[in-house]
């Protein structure tokens, strides 16, 4: 999984209230060019969503599980077909169990947490919640951690995504500003329109 090669440098976060709507959302995002998606385990029947999406999208799809809190979560997500895992932080269970067979984006906010995530072999540090510090905070973190790949997550719209990428984020994670209410049964045509606007905005940044 090469984060620098994600389409539009975007990881879509699907956190829904209905499993069928969540699945339709993942598939629609892929159809519209947002092919890297994280399904939060807080979504009802999230593992079923991952299984079905994997079946539809095939083995090469960049499809992961988010809100992974324990080693058991990690194992079950891997069994369901996730190709990467995303955590909001790093608990002792994940730290000490063999949960890192799949690439992981490990949540961190402080410098100490960034060090801990890096020591555990994180593919990237999920800067979360990024809204607490904004792009300026990421820029400050990159001074002591220039080699750490950061993926900011939390409250990121297209303008903020461009700002984060400009200060060195390898990608951004985006939920409701892109997904909206689609994963709860909302209109898929509206989702397609949001994706089109997102692609246009991020294409400018990626090309810059």
pLDDT tens digit sequence for 39-69:
999 999 999 999 999 999 999 999 999 999 9
Q: For position 94, what pLDDT does the model report? A: 80
Q: For position 100, what pLDDT does the model report? A: 59
Question: CA-CA distance, 198 to 161, in Å (whole number)?
Answer: 10
Active site positions, annotated: 38, 126
Q: Selecting from 3.50.50.60, 3.20.20.70, 3.40.50.300, 3.40.50.1000, what CATH number does the domain 3-207 have?
A: 3.20.20.70
Q: For position 97, what pLDDT does the model report? A: 58
pLDDT tens digit sequence for 83-112:
999 999 998 888 765 455 799 999 999 999
pTM of the model: 0.94
Look up tokens 């989702």; give the residue: 191
- Please choose, from the candidates 25, 36, 58, 73, the residue with its C-alpha nearest in 3D space to the C-alpha of residue 173: 36
pLDDT tens digit sequence for 140-191:
999 999 999 999 999 999 999 999 999 999 999 999 999 999 999 999 999 9
Residues 18, 8: contact at Cβ < 8 Å?
no
């Amino acid at each position: 999984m090469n984060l620098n090669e994600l389409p539009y440098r975007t990881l879509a976060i699907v956190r829904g209230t209905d499993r069928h709507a969540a699945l339709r959302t993942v598939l629609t995002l892929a159809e519209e060019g947002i092919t890297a998606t994280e399904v939060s385990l807080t979504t009802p029947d999230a593992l079923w969503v991952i299984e079905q999406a994997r079946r539809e999208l095939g083995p090469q799809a960049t499809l992961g599980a988010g809100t992974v809190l324990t080693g058991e979560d990690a194992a079950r997500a891997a069994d369901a077909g996730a190709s990467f895992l995303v955590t909001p932080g790093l608990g002792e269970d994940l730290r000490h169990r063999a949960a890192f067979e799949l690439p992981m984006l490990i949540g961190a906010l402080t410098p100490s947490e960034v060090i801990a995530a890096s020591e555990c072999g994180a593919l990237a540090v999920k800067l979360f919640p990024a809204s607490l510090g904004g792009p300026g905070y990421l820029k400050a973190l990159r001074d002591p951690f220039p080699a750490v790949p950061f993926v900011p997550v939390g409250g990121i719209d297209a303008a903020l995504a461009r700002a984060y990428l400009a200060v060195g984020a390898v990608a951004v994670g985006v939920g409701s500003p892109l997904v909206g209410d689609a994963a709860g049964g909302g209109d898929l045509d509206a989702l397609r329109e949001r994706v089109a606007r997102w692609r246009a905005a991020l294409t400018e940044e990626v090309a810059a």
